[in-house]
Amino acid sequence: MRKLLVLALVGLVAQLIDGSLGMAYGLTSSTLLLVAGVAPAAASASVHLAEIGTTLAAGVAHWRFGNVDWRVVTRIALPGAIGAFLGATVLSSISTEAAGPWMAGILFALGTYLLVRFARPLRTGRVGGRLRGRFLGPLGLVAGFVDATGGGGWGPVATPALLVSGRMEPRKVIGSVDTAEFVVAGAASVGFLIGLGTEGFLLPTVAALLIGGLIAAPLAAWLVRIVPAQLLGAAVGGVIVLTNARTLIRSAELGGPLRPTLYALLAAGWLTALVFAVRALRRTRRARAEGANALPVAGEPAVAATASDVPAGLAASGTSTRH
């Protein structure tokens, strides 16, 4: 009973993070399950089965709020499902001893990516044109494969790539990626079912993660108003990096003074990323305040601003919300 409560708490924390960033539910859940001693394939399988429920609820909510671009969803979901199915098949065929470092390595890389991404604002100014299928297809394929083999990664791979393109509103990027993830999670679950059988799914774990996630869904909407996503993303990235570095260092059998030295370097990198995230957040807020103060007073003629008149911070955003 105590273990199920802990797992429900894992699902709750993961959903709070995902609800504030629009990503990292799978990364957080898989990392914490690996720390709890769950086998890599079983951890990824259980997380993806739970995600079928959480992503369905998220997709419906995004659709009701008008945050879904169905053209993007249809072009990214199918390749993502193919990639997820292949990734689940690959992970299911690897032994637990070999899968542990492999999965930890992917999670470590994605955690590092989160650190880099949230250490600086992300440019979101829209440009002309639509996203083409030749871009969305490969992106979905890679994101789906990484998601299944790493126990998470669909959001961290797909969401930043679409945001950087500048061709979609941030809210529609997050809504479309979340909606497509329902198909990806289902395909990954089918792949794990074929590769591992029904015994590969830890149903009590799935139920606990799902319950925790559903409880956290409304809380996440409140949390996103309180905690800046910029800081939360950098903080979560550091936790994922340090946690999975432990597995990688053990698998490499590194000992002596090298182990504490590596931990110290990683901790220093995490602290540096947090400092940069705070500075980026302050610059963004300062630029927004200056832009608000520059609004014309009632009765005075408005002056059109050129691109050079707009503060650089206004073209960048370090936050992403999930409705």
**Could you give the dihedral angle defined by the CA atoms of residues 201, 207, 210 and 212, in that order, rounded to the nearest 10 degrees?**
-130
Tens of pLDDT along 214-227? 777 666 655 555 66
Residue 51: closest CA among 167, 194, 193, 214: 214
The string of pLDDT tens digits covering residues 54-97 is: 888 778 877 887 888 999 999 999 999 999 999 999 988 887 67
What is residue 119's DSSP assignment?
Answer: T
CA 40 to chain centre: 19
Mean pLDDT of 168-191: 87
- Longest CA span, the chain: 73
pLDDT at 47 over 80: yes
55 neighbors 188 (Cβ within 8 angstroms): no
CA angle 129, 121, 182 (to 5 degrees): 60
pLDDT score at 101? 84
The tens digit of pLDDT for each residue in 113-170 reads: 888 888 877 554 555 567 888 899 999 999 999 889 887 788 878 877 787 676 777 6
Q: How confident is the model at residue 186 (pLDDT cuts 50, 70, 90)?
A: very high
The mean pLDDT value for 169-194 works out to 88
Residue type, 315: A
Tokens describing residue 198: 């029904």
Q: What is the C-alpha to C-alpha distance for residues 228 and 308, in angstroms, rounded to an integer?
A: 28
Stretch (H or E) spanning 314: none
| Residue 27: φ, ψ to 5° | -60, -50
Q: Has residue 317 got a pLDDT over 50?
A: no
What is d(CA 81, CA 46) in angstroms, rounded to the nearest whole number? 17
Which amino acid would we find at residue 222?
W
Q: Flag whether pLDDT at 19 surpasses 70.
A: no
Lowest average pLDDT, out of 40-44, 97-101, 273-277, goes to 97-101
266, β-bridge pairs = none
Asked if 11 and 50 count as a contact pair (C-beta separation under 8 A), the reply is: yes
Q: Which segment of 165-169, 200-204, 206-210, 298-302 scores lowest on mean pLDDT?
A: 298-302
105-119, 148-162, 182-196, 242-256: which is most confident: 182-196
Q: How many CB atoms lie within 10 A of CB 292?
A: 8
Looking at residue 160, its pLDDT comes to 75
pTM for this model (two decimals): 0.70
Two tokens, residue 169:
């509103």
Residue reference for tokens 């299928």:
133
* CA-based nearest residue to 284, from 315, 254, 246, 238: 315
- pLDDT of 39 > 50? The answer is yes
Strand partners, 316: 123
